[in-house]
A and B are shown apart, each in its own frame.
Chain A
Amino acid sequence: MTVNIGDVVPTFTRETGFANWNRYAAVNDEFVPIHMDDAAGEAAGNGGAFGMGNLQWAYLHNMLRSWIGETGEILSMEVQFRSPNVKGQTITAHGVVTAVEGDVVTLEVWTDQQDGIKLAPGTATVRMGK
């Protein structure tokens, strides 16, 4: 696959809420009150329970993994969790190519919600597969 600066990675989208978060809590043992209980999330200043940053991290990996294929490699990723993922939001993972050096590609990556507000912006590098 030929990759150029500005190329857009196919997105990965999920509607989010307790159904996703509880499944993630079950595998990551992440039963933290702010992710499980609206009162705890509200007390923490976020209007209700909100999703795990680690799950958005996983969605970004799912997006890149699908794009680079089995022979590609995710080399690094750096993400800031800036806004909470609250119930009912549709979360989409995005990526845009910002640099290409041989088979190593740098991308701007982020998750956003349905209004386009970014929740978790960051960068990633991948090695493209054969």
Chain B
Amino acid sequence: MSNISEAMRAAVGTVTGRTTSYPITNSDIRKWALAVYWPEQPPALFTDPAVAEKSIYGGFVAPEDLNPFAWLAASHESFIKNAGKLETNNPDNAEIALGIPGPGLKFMLNGGLSVEYGVRMREGDVITSESSVGEYSERKGRLGLMLFSRSISIWTNQNGEMVKRTAGILIRY
């Protein structure tokens, strides 16, 4: 039996909201780089102001994979009037945010990512993400019928330049 309801199918393509980050700081860049290169030191481009200044960027740029929305965003605007309240680690959050019933599955996994990059994120940048609902699909896996849902987000910087376009796949079962 399918876990994809008519309401879920009808939601595909809906633009759900816009989130804006706080300005990216040198500390954000340094800590991110330390975490993803640990236990070795990250490139000095991400940690040393003198090296960053002498680089072709003329200052700090972030690793392409940095998430400027982690922990807290400066603002979030939902375009969904009847959106429900999100609960930490609830697999139905994608549908709760749309104001429709979720499939009620117990587990969720990050299924994959597809990203096209634009300009680099730099120290001081304010990033805005606009999110929309991608397609749903299902297939049988080793843990039973798996639900694949896609979320699309487009990030731009304060100058309106595209930073990245991401399609994320959430697997639920």
Contacts and interface: CB of A to CB of B under 8 A. Distances in A.
Interface of A: 14, 19-20, 23-24, 26-30, 32-34, 43-45, 52-55, 57-59, 61-62, 65-66, 70-71, 73-81, 120, 122
Interface string B105-149: 001011111111100000000000000000000000001000000
A53 B37 contact: no
B56 A71 contact: yes
How many of chain B's residues touch chain A, expressed as a range?
20 to 34
B157 to A, nearest CB: 16
Would you call the interface of chain B mostly helix, strand, loop, or mixed?
mixed
Given A23-B35, A58-B65, A75-B116, A44 B107 contact: yes
Contacts, number: 91
B128 to A, nearest CB: 19
Contacts of A74: 64, 117
A87 B31 CA distance: 23
Contacts of A65: 43, 63-64
B7 to A, nearest CB: 26
Closest 5 CB pairs of A and B: A53-B110, A58-B36, A78-B114, A80-B112, A23-B35
